[in-house]
Amino acid sequence: MYNILICDDEKDIVSAIEIYLKTAGYSVYKAYNGMEAVDMVNSNDIQLVLMDVMMPQMDGITAMAKIRESSNVPILILIAVAFTNYDQQHLPPNSLFTWVGFKNFASLFSNSMTVTFGYSFRKVLGWTLVWAVMATFTTFIGGILLAKAINSKTTKLPKMWRTLFIISIAVPQFVTLLLVRNFFADSGIVNTICSNIGITDMLKHVGLVGEHLTYIPFLTDPHWAKVMIILINIWVGVPYQMLIATGVLMNIPTDQIESAKIDGATNFQVFWKITMPYILFIQGPALITDFVKNINNFNVIYLLTQDVFVTQNQALANSHAKEVDLLVTWLFRLTNEYYDYKMASVIGIIVFIICAAFTLISFSRMISGDKEEEYQ
């Protein structure tokens, strides 16, 4: 009898696959994270591993590398769910799911308004890319400018300012996000202050707040929420980027800067022609990984909008999406709240393809344009 290990942090998925395999006569072992899978392979005679990718404690890719150190057992990454009708109506053991091929992918790219996944996907993908660009470059540029300002010879008490911003890093991100969400709630302290000093009425007068509202919908209106999410992310991310930029600025070759100033270059020209290219050269790989991280930035979006933002767009609601969702938060909601595993799996594959393609293209262009000799 063949021994097959199933590794997935979703216990329903593990149970469903287990039913099929046991019915076919296989012996089944179960693990719910990468670390358990590695231990199972090392302590049992496993002939095949079915492995998920995104799991707690240890992800599937890391677990696969660990297993390869001691075993050549075949490993299949669990993406097959995307090609089935596995959802709330097809949950084993009451109802078994079946193979549907590329039907789910067709739904995701459809233009039909009766099956709204295509419409929702375009909306969510667009916001995901806008968010990733804005979140990456606002914190990157903000960190550089803040580091330049604090390290400037004209800045008084630079150590004090640097310490204040470092303290903000010491506070766990989720604590900061939950506090900020309460501050900017419809009945939060910020809205109370704005109402008392007349800012809410002023925004009504210029048309930025609806006449029927008695508060500023910081996190409940789609346009306000998107702007606030980006601004809050700047507050959370800039201090960290400031520390990195400070280290890079301290290592810029001073002879190039001195030569440029002797030739009559202004401070802006020095920054644009010497400082910025050097920072991009050093932080280029980190910038790429930050962009990919922001495509999958679950914490900021979810913690700021969960249980606060309710979509008024019926087409999005039909697909269980919201205007402020990233692909990864939409995927999480489909899985955790609506048990639509098939569409969540399709979205997960699309996210992987986007991230992999961007990373490969960016790094290949970076390698081909290597200018290390210029900074020696």
- Residue 128: inside a domain: yes
pLDDT of residue 200: 93
Separation in Å, CA 116 to CA 102, 165, 355: 17, 44, 24
Q: Is the dihedral of CA 26, 31, 37, 42 positive or negative?
A: negative
Query: What tokens were used for 337?
Result: 């709240």
Beta strand spans in the chain (E): 3-7, 27-31, 48-51, 75-77
Q: Residue 110: which H helix or E strand, with range?
A: none
**Residue 353 lies inside a defined structural domain of this protein:** yes
The pLDDT score that the predictor gives to residue 93 is: 62
Which pLDDT score, from 0 to 100, does residue 367 have?
Answer: 67
| Domain final position from 26, 56, 78 | 78
Helix axes 276-295, 222-249, angle to 10 degrees: 140
190 inside domain: no
Q: Which among 188, 176, 190, 217 has a CA at the least distance from the CA of 299?
A: 176
* Domain-located, residue 207: no
Same domain (yes/no): 168, 305:
yes
6 bridge partner residues: 30, 50
Q: Which of 78, 101, 127 is the last residue of a domain?
A: 78
- Integer Cα distance of 287 and 86 in angstroms: 37
Provide the CATH number for the domain around residue 166.
1.10.3720.10
The domain total for the chain is 2
Q: What is the pLDDT of residue 30?
A: 94
Q: Please tell me whether residues 227 and 327 are part of one structural domain.
A: yes
Q: Examine the domain organization and report whether 292 and 162 are in the same domain.
A: yes
Does 88 reside within a domain?
Answer: no
49 and 148 in a common domain = no
65 and 171 in a common domain? no
Give the residue from 58, 283, 246, 248 showing the smallest Cα distance to 169.
246
Tokens 């002939």 belong to residue? 47
Q: Which of 334, 302, 341 is nearest to 318 (CA)?
A: 334
Residue with tokens 């270059």: 265
pLDDT of residue 123: 94
Which of these three, 54, 78, 102, is where a domain ends?
A: 78
Looking at the fold, whether 235 and 335 belong to one and the same domain comes out as yes
User: Residues 259, 331: contact at Cβ < 8 Å?
Assistant: no
Do 173 and 312 share a structural domain?
A: yes
350 is in which domain, residue-wise?
117-184+219-375
Residue whose tokens read 């799991």: 55
- Determine the pLDDT at residue 113: 62
Domain assignment present for 206? no
Query: Do the domain assignments include residue 93?
Result: no
- Whether residue 93 has a cis bond before it, omega within 30° of 0: yes
Same domain, 64 and 130: no
CA–CA distance, 132 with 295 (Å, rounded to integer): 5
The token duo for 125 is: 């993908």
Radius of gyration of the chain (CA): 25
67, 139: one domain: no
What CATH number is given to the structural domain containing 48? 3.40.50.2300
Same domain, 331 and 226: yes
User: 128 with 262, same domain?
Assistant: yes
* In a shared domain, residues 179 and 259: yes
The residues of the chain scoring below 70 in pLDDT are 78, 91-96, 113-115, 367-376
pTM tops 0.85, yes or no: no
Residue burial 17-42, b: 16+ Cβ < 10 Å; e: rest: bbeebeeeeeebbbbbbbbbbbebbe
In-domain check, residue 179: yes
